[in-house]
Amino acid sequence: MEHAKPAEDRNVLIAPSVMCADLLDLGRDIDALVDLGVDWLHLDIMDAHYVPNLTLGTDLCRQLGGRYALPLDMHLMVDDPDQWGPLFAGIAAGATGGGYVTIHPETTWHPARTLAAIRDAGGRPGIAIDPAADVDRFRHLLALCDLVLVMSVNPGYAGQRLLPWTLDTVRDAARLRGDRGLDYRIEIDGNVSWQNIPAMIDAGADVLVAGTSSLFDPTLARDQAAAKMRLAVGR
């Protein structure tokens, strides 16, 4: 397994949210983002049960993984991660750039087993922390994770406001990583805006899910938004 660099040596990565792209011309949008130097492709997999929305799916993820040499960052907002986790992990295993499969641990009776099944199927496992949850509740799972995703809005829809206490969740995830000598990346998803990015990075986030409030800012051309995003993360 490829291990992440120590926190102090990491670049902050940009993971555009594919659900925020122009779905009627998705190839054009993603081609442009890849040319502009994004790092991961963030894919929100929603089942209309765990969250009230229904987005993206296996065929799209498989095609993206075959076309682009970027890691797929697959966030499963689903009721049955034991069914879907290994399936998407298999897609990650076949993707040119590999991929992460992140579950909400409260959705399964045996999250440690689910994370192990994701790794065994070829994905890099992670857990997502809902705004109503405390990362300390899942501290026993952190050693099994390559990624901890902090939701800074309620899961389900783009365009929401930041829930400010979630920055403390990022800090807690960074503290636990240091205290335990672990090497997972910390991702934040939700209102990753020009105004909020500095505080998110300061709290310890090293992957930013970029959506409608930054990289897909409707007031900017895509290359302008990407340049502004690189500047915000110090690149």
Residue ranges per domain, the chain? 7-232
Give me the catalytic one of 29, 39, 44, 146. 44
- Does the predicted TM-score (pTM) go above 0.85? yes
The residues near 53 (Cβ < 8 Å, ≥ 6 apart) are 46, 156, 157
**Is residue 5 very low, low, confident or very high in pLDDT (cuts 50, 70, 90)?**
very low
pLDDT tier at 47 (50, 70, 90 boundaries)?
confident
Whether 44 is a known active-site residue: answer yes
Which residue is catalytic, options 82, 146, 172, 189? 189
User: Which string of b and e fits 61-78 if b means at least 16 CB within 10 Å?
Assistant: bbebbeebebbbbbbbbb
Q: Does the annotation count 189 as an active-site position? A: yes
Residue 2 pLDDT: 39
163 vs 156, more confident: 163
**Distance between CA atoms of 167 and 188, rounded to whole angstroms?**
9
CATH class of the 7-232 domain in this structure: alpha beta
pLDDT of the residue at 49: 78
Average confidence (pLDDT) over 104-113: 96
54/36: higher pLDDT: 36
